[in-house]
Amino acid sequence: MRPIVMVAGGRYIERARKGVPVTPTKADGEHDVPLLIGVVGHRDLANAPELEDQVTAFLGLVRKQVPHTRVILLSSMAAGADLLTVRVATALQMAVVPVLAVPKDLFERTFSPGFEEEVAEFRRLLALCEDPIVLPAPEGTTYDAVMSDKGLLDRQYAAAGAYVVRLSHTVIALWDGVETTDIAGTAAAIRYAECGVPSDLWDERDPLDLADGAAVRWLMAERKAPKKGPARPYCDWIYPLSYPRGGGPASPDRPDAAAGVRRLASLLRDGALDRLDEFNREARDLTVAARSSERVHGELAAHVRSLLPEGSTFAASAAQRRVAEIRARADYLAGGAKQQGEWYLRCALGLVVAAVLALELFAHVWHDRLWVLGLYAVALLAAVHFLDKRGRCFTRFVDYRALAEALRVQFFWSAAGLTDSVSRHFMRTHRTEVEWIRQAAAAVEVENALSFATPAQDGAGMNHARRVWIQGQLDFFRGRSEPLAAKGRTLATMSTTLARIGAWLVFGTLFVGWLIGWGPGESEHGSVHTGVHPAAYITVTLALLLVGAEVVRVYAESGEYTTNARRYLWMTSVYEQAERVLAECGPGGSSPDAARAAATVRSLGKAALAENSEWIVLHRHRPVELPHSIVNSPHHS
């Protein structure tokens, strides 16, 4: 058995260092997943100094809540609230990714004549930011057409606001609370965060799609030229309507229903932050360990080579290689969590058997030895403790494996020349604590600008996706399906065999007792037993056989070998179909068709994401129950 990789606890890292001090550096966070904070707000702020202090305080609290996570601010870089927040973020040494509605030179022309100082500040701050993301012009138009048409320009502003809201985990809104009907502006961005982004500004979405929107931290702003309109009552947080609405609507009988909804939404947001920061903490620890452990470094490199094998003719970009590095860490951590969870499960089930043995011995053999009953209690409590630790490990395994799968699809979509975003297709109908995975994928996408990358013009990327992704996954699923099914059958047979042996043991005991004349408390000569009745040992053995059968069944169910074998068979057929289509229409195929090949790779990625999202939702909180016999089996003293 391989040693358990105790990355989270740091014990493995200490062993990996072998006495050589390794100090974490800023570069250790290069391959983690950032947290995206968006900003929307008014241009003409009357209380800018007060708001600047509030933004500083809020960003400081966020950094304290996620100390192991890089925070990136998304900003449209407009005058007023946007530049104010960027100024605070850069002062706090946070990264800023500008989201520009039009290219920089044209964007400067959107500042009003009275905002010359803001233009200078825009240029200064832009030089401190990361490379900007420039939204493409509406289909069929050009940037020059956008600049000459106020309607098109407003739509570009709306698209920039929608992009910020759609991909941010949290949005800071410097807003006066006045509702307007404009398609662009602060009120519109709040609507997008609360109700979802309209399909004309984003991809067509299903009416049941819940994933758009973000939690909004509302900071009350005052405008130099207030607008008229209905004003919303102030609240510190505005949550998407797609968040779980537990407790039902507010009513005279339930005046606290709204507060309950807010508490639930707050827990959801905080839980996502905690999960993201936990992953980044483990990823940074792993990077530290890889610097001093050749084994860890080699295994991480092997995970990277699963996407970028040596000798490949595909030249990956820096962004694609970075996605491969992040995915390697997620996959490595998932494997370590799975190993830990399996070890805890085996320990727990072994303790269950020990607890049953102690209880049976006390009940049938050693009535006067209370310390044996104490062993039962200790073993049972230890089993429950190990099952709890196994549950936490399994949750981490499922989460990290799901993140690794999402990044795998994102990598190969990008390699094949597709600008599709995984976050638009992954877990789109779920608002639970697992949403952090979709948000993490979105953060990787934004930081590397994968959705706006220039599609590959040659067939090297498509051939790379076919050879490494499709054929590699096809070999994996084919090779794993039958062994998993065989293991499931073996464990089922073992459980049934143990139960049958126990049943035959009962019949054998009854038959032998009838032959030699065993009675309750008497020997075959009619004298009363003064020691342990011989049948007691048989009863203890019977209990161990039955609980052994139950333990094997629980172990088999926890591994879901038969279920996973069916999943792998289904995915095998999906990848086989993709391979057949690309063999025909891919580069070098019998009937090359670039559009059809791209559609096939896109559909394959969606199928993989859909299957993975179903798997994570169904299995993330599936507990392993103790065999009922250790609590409910009858005992007679």
CB 568 within 8 A of CB 480: yes
Q: Which two tokens stand for residue 19?
A: 């006495």
Least confident segment among 46-55, 376-385, 510-519: 510-519
Out of 39-53, 60-74, 587-601, which region has the weakest mean confidence (pLDDT)? 587-601
| Mean pLDDT in residue range 425-454 | 76
pLDDT band at residue 441 using 50, 70 and 90 as cut-offs: confident
Closest by alpha carbon to 33, among 364, 302, 310, 436? 436
Q: What is the pLDDT of residue 600?
A: 92
Q: Which residue has better confidence, 27 or 4? A: 27
pLDDT range class, residue 28, cuts 50, 70, 90: low
58 pLDDT higher than 90: yes
Q: pLDDT category, 38, cuts 50, 70, 90?
A: very high
pLDDT of 255 > 60? The answer is: no
CA atoms of 483 and 562, how far apart (whole Å): 10
* pLDDT higher than threshold 70 for residue 518: no
Arithmetic mean of pLDDT, 109-128: 84
Q: How confident is the model at residue 431 (pLDDT cuts 50, 70, 90)?
A: low
Per-residue pLDDT at 258 exceeds 70: no
Q: Looking at the predicted structure, is the pLDDT value of residue 297 above 80?
A: yes
What is the reported pTM? 0.83
| 165-174, 403-412, 514-523: the lowest-pLDDT one | 514-523
- The bridge status of strand 71-75 relative to strand 133-134 is unpaired
Contacts of 351 (CB under 8 A, 6+ apart): 379, 380, 382, 383, 386
Most confident range, picked from 474-478, 522-526, 549-553 = 474-478
Nearest to 489 by CA among 478, 497, 499, 501: 497
Q: How far is Cα 364 from Cα 586, in angstroms, rounded to an integer? A: 72
Amino acid 326: pLDDT: 92
Query: Quick one: pLDDT at residue 59?
Result: 93
Task: Tell me the chain's radius of gyration from C-alpha atoms.
Answer: 31
- For residues 548 and 23, what is the distance between their CA atoms, to the nearest angstrom? 48
Q: Which of 52-61, 102-111, 520-529 has the lowest mean pLDDT?
A: 520-529
Confidence of residue 261 (pLDDT cuts 50, 70, 90): low
Long-range CB contact pairs, 12-18, < 8 A, 24+: 12/289, 13/285, 13/288, 13/289, 16/289, 16/292, 16/293, 16/295, 16/296, 17/289, 17/292, 17/293, 18/292
What are the structural domains of the chain?
32-248 (3.40.50.450), 305-632 (no CATH)
Token pair listed for 174? 């410097």
Q: What angle do CA 270, 398, 573 make, to 5 degrees?
A: 135
Cβ atoms of 308 and 321 within 8 Å: the answer is yes
pLDDT band at 54; cut points 50, 70, 90 = very high
Predicted confidence at residue 135, as pLDDT, reads 87
Q: What percent of the chain has pLDDT over 70?
A: 78
Least confident interval from 108-117, 204-213, 315-324: 204-213
Give residue 139's identity as a one-letter amino acid code: E
Lowest mean pLDDT among 35-39, 361-365, 492-496, 620-624: 620-624
Least confident of 45-49, 303-307, 311-315, 407-411: 311-315
Could you give the 3-state DSSP secondary structure of residue 332? Answer: helix
Strand partners, 98: 75
Mean pLDDT for the stretch of residues 181-191: 88
Q: In this predicted structure, what is the pLDDT of residue 636?
A: 41
pLDDT of 20 higher than 60: no
Binning pLDDT at 50, 70 and 90, where does residue 512 land? low
Q: What is the pLDDT of residues 546-566, one digit of tens each?
A: 777 777 777 777 777 777 788
**Surface-to-core class of residue 499, CB atoms within 10 Å of its CB (0-12 exposed, 13-18 middle, 19+ buried):** middle
Q: Tabulate helix, strand, coil % of the chain (nearest 5).
A: 60, 5, 30
pLDDT tops 80 at residue 226: yes
Looking at residue 430, what is its pLDDT? 67
The DSSP bridge pattern shows strands 71-75 and 35-41 to be parallel
Has residue 631 got a pLDDT over 50? no
Cβ count within 10 A of residue 143 = 21
Mean pLDDT across 188-201: 84
How is residue 486 annotated by DSSP? H
The pLDDT-based confidence of 245 (bands split at 50, 70, 90) is: low
Q: Which residues contact 407 (CB under 8 A, 6 or more apart)?
A: 323, 326, 327, 330, 422, 441, 444
Query: What average pLDDT does the chain have?
Result: 79
User: How far apart, in whole angstroms, are the C-alpha atoms of residue 386 and residue 495?
Assistant: 22
Flag whether pLDDT at 575 surpasses 50. yes
C-alpha 518/C-alpha 208 separation (Å) is 70
pLDDT grade, residue 198 (50/70/90)?
confident
Please report the pLDDT score of residue 457 as a whole number.
Answer: 58
State the DSSP code for 450: G
pLDDT score recorded for residue 331: 93
Spatial distance between the Cα atoms of 278 and 285, rounded to a whole number of angstroms: 11
Asked whether the beta carbons of 401 and 580 are under 8 A apart, the reply is: no
